[in-house]
């Protein structure tokens, strides 16, 4: 690079190490990132994701303990969409929406379709030691999945799905969005806190590096 890498570059590299299973490089990048931004909660979450993806739960606990010691908390996942001039908000695990039952049914149908295309829930994205089915259920409640399901319920075929999210999209939701874009033949745009992701025909504009 012609200039010094900033924290956005380091965090993208760390997230990519998680996505591609490179623990050794990820640990080196994590040290650099935490040296540069030692009080940013998202960085610790990225490090936790790296260890969770490798099944290193003792290290996940260590990172969480460090967050607790310095007074940091993981922000709850939240997504927003705009339909008909109105903003709709979705929190991870939220079952209190009037359309919650319809949303769950829509996701169930989507999950069946994308599973036929090869989608498998990536339970390493769940940063807790739970039974496998409990992890899958948590993934189903991620805010961007709720938002996408809601848009599919309320809009016509062919229209673009646009979602804004307060956190970096997780690996499982990213994979799911790629499969959904292919099975429903719609473009999906997710603006997370780092970049725009344009999902179309089973691919993402970020080429799986974010």
- Give me the domain span that covers residue 87: 78-204
Do 113 and 193 share a domain, yes or no? yes
167-198 pLDDT, tens per residue? 889 889 999 999 999 999 999 999 998 889 99
What's the CA gap between 29 and 87, in Å, rounded?
A: 38
Is residue 91 in some structural domain?
Answer: yes
Do 16 and 119 share a domain, yes or no? no
Question: H or E element: which one contains 186?
Answer: none
Q: Residue 162, SS3? A: strand
Closest of 162, 155, 167 to residue 177, by C-alpha: 162
Sequence-ordered alpha helix ranges (H) in the chain: 7-20, 23-36, 41-53, 57-69, 100-117, 132-140, 143-154, 171-183
CATH of the domain at 42: 1.25.40.10
Closest of 206, 197, 135 to residue 165, by C-alpha: 197
Do 42 and 105 share a domain, yes or no? no
Return the pLDDT at 137.
92
The number of folded domains in the chain is 2
Q: What are the distances in angstroms from CA 160 to CA 93, 182, 189, 195, 199?
A: 24, 13, 7, 18, 10
1-60 pLDDT, tens per residue? 788 889 989 998 998 898 888 999 999 999 999 999 998 888 998 998 899 878 888 998
Closest of 92, 100, 96, 83 to residue 155, by C-alpha: 83
Closest of 174, 192, 167, 190 to residue 114, by C-alpha: 174
pTM, whole model, 2 decimals?
0.77
User: Exposed/middle/buried for 73, CB within 10 Å: 0-12, 13-18, 19+?
Assistant: exposed
Do 56 and 95 share a domain, yes or no? no
97-106 pLDDT, tens per residue? 888 999 999 9
Do 112 and 141 share a domain, yes or no? yes
């Amino acid at each position: 690079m012609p200039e010094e890498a900033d924290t956005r570059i380091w965090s993208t590299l760390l997230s990519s190490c998680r996505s591609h299973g490179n623990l050794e490089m990820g640990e080196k990048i994590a040290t650099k990132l935490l040296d540069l931004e030692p009080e940013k909660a998202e960085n610790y979450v990225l490090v936790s994701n790296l260890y969770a993806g490798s099944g290193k739960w003792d290290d996940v606990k260590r990172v969480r303990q460090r967050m607790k010691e310095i007074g940091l908390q993981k922000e709850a996942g939240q997504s927003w969409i705009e339909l008909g001039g109105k903003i709709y908000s979705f929190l991870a695990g939220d079952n209190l929406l009037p359309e919650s039952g319809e949303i769950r049914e829509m996701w169930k149908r989507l999950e069946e379709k994308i599973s036929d295309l090869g989608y498998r829930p990536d339970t390493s994205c769940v940063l807790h030691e739970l039974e496998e089915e409990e992890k899958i259920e948590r993934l189903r409640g991620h805010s961007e999945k709720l938002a996408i399901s809601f848009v599919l319920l309320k809009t016509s075929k062919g229209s673009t799905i646009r979602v804004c999210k307060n956190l970096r999209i997780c690996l499982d939701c990213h994979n799911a969005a790629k499969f959904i874009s292919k099975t429903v033949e719609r473009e999906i745009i997710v603006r997370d806190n780092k970049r725009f992701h344009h999902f179309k025909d089973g691919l993402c504009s970020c080429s799986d590096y974010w």
